[in-house]
Amino acid sequence: MSATASSWLSELTSYYTPNASQFDGAKSHKDAIETRLDTVLGVYRMFEIGSLRHGTGVWHYSDADYLVSLKGIQPDSPWTMLTKVKEALQARFTSTTITIRRPAVVCHFSDGIVEVVPGYVAAGGGYMIANPADGWMKSYPEDHNKYVNEVNTKHNGGAKKLARHLKIWKYKRNVPISSCYLEMRAAKYLSDDDAYLPILDLYYVLSHLQTVQLAAMTDPTGLGSRFGAYSSEASKKDALSKLDRAVTRARKAKDYYLADDHDNAIEQLKLLFNR
């Protein structure tokens, strides 16, 4: 029996869904990182955040992400904080390539990549972390996770599937868009919907991103700072160009799917996801 567009997309999702053991190598460095930062800078707590924690990670591409709540006084510039964290970790892991990619310090271990997002406890709750664009931003990672989980439960797993589809497109087409932005956009888009329809909703959410031109998104929890999609005007231009092509392909896939022409629908999905 020939594959349908829905079954093809489902198989793609399964292929890029990491299992629990595939990030054991990266996660094994957590204690050493926390001990080093606590010794040098002081740490209140270090906990897992990001797509792996949320259940929207993409195999081969997602990292192990941690937020580190630092002691001390928040400096005027987040670059001061990021530089201190990078220097502390580089002195401990001398043979590891460690870089800054706001809002994180990225450790490229031989057995996995770990992104350390340093921050300070914010007045009124949440954490002040580096804004990918510039300056500081307030983040509530645990509340954001709760929000996504609530929408996901409403749609029997649909919010996280849609978020993973957007992230697969991002990684396979090298689109410079924040993964967190895509995840929150996917959840917000489905929050008011009555049903999740994978082929249709993939097109509609991409079309919505095109309509708003990747504008910063108000935190749907009403707690934190706005979510930015990109880190520079050059990134925005590149992302919008790739988004335009994605919308065209997703629209064709949707139209073929609704016409029960699954072979052509799958061909458009393959172009969309660079498969």
> Percent of the chain scored above 90 by pLDDT?
70
Q: Facing residues of 54 across strands?
A: none
pLDDT at 39: 97
In whole angstroms, give the CA distance from residue 10 to residue 254.
15
* Phi, psi dihedrals of residue 56, rounded to the nearest 5°: -125, 20
DSSP code of 217? B
pLDDT at 263: 97
In whole angstroms, give the CA distance from residue 184 to residue 55.
13
Identity of the highest mean pLDDT range in 174-183, 184-193, 265-274: 265-274
What is the rounded average pLDDT for all residues in the chain? 92
- 91 pLDDT above the threshold of 60: yes
Tokens of 187: 């959840």
- Identify the structural domains of the chain with CATH numbers, from first to last: 5-17+143-273 (1.10.1410), 24-139 (3.30.460.10)
Sign of CA dihedral 113, 118, 121, 122: negative
Strands 112-121 and 64-70, by their bridges, are: parallel
Decide if 221 contacts 191 (C-beta within 8 A). no
Model confidence over 118-148: pLDDT tens digits? 999 998 899 999 988 788 989 998 888 899 9
In whole angstroms, give the CA distance from residue 225 to residue 127.
10
Decide if 168 contacts 16 (C-beta within 8 A). yes
- 1 pLDDT above the threshold of 50: no
- 93 pLDDT above the threshold of 90: yes
Note the pTM of the prediction, 2 decimals: 0.86
Model confidence over 235-269: pLDDT tens digits? 999 999 999 999 999 999 999 999 999 999 999 99
Q: 45: which residues sit within 8 A by CB, 6+ positions away? A: 68, 69
- 22 pLDDT above the threshold of 70: no
Rounded mean pLDDT, 57-83? 92
Model confidence over 31-44: pLDDT tens digits? 999 999 999 999 99
pLDDT at 14: 93
Sign of CA dihedral 201, 206, 211, 214: positive
Instruction: Quickly count: other Cβ atoms within 10 Å of residue 255's Cβ.
Output: 14
Stronger pLDDT, 127 or 224, i.e. the higher one: 127
Q: Dump strand ranges (E) for the chain.
A: 43-49, 64-70, 97-101, 104-109, 112-121, 127-130, 136-139
pLDDT at 133: 76
In whole angstroms, give the CA distance from residue 183 to residue 144.
10
pLDDT at 271: 98
pLDDT at 55: 76
Q: Quick check: helix, strand or coil at residue 93?
A: coil
pLDDT at 166: 97
pLDDT at 52: 66
Residue 121, Cβ density class (10 Å: 0-12 exposed, 13-18 middle, ≥19 buried): middle
Model confidence over 186-205: pLDDT tens digits? 999 999 899 999 999 999 99
Q: Quick check: helix, strand or coil at residue 240?
A: helix
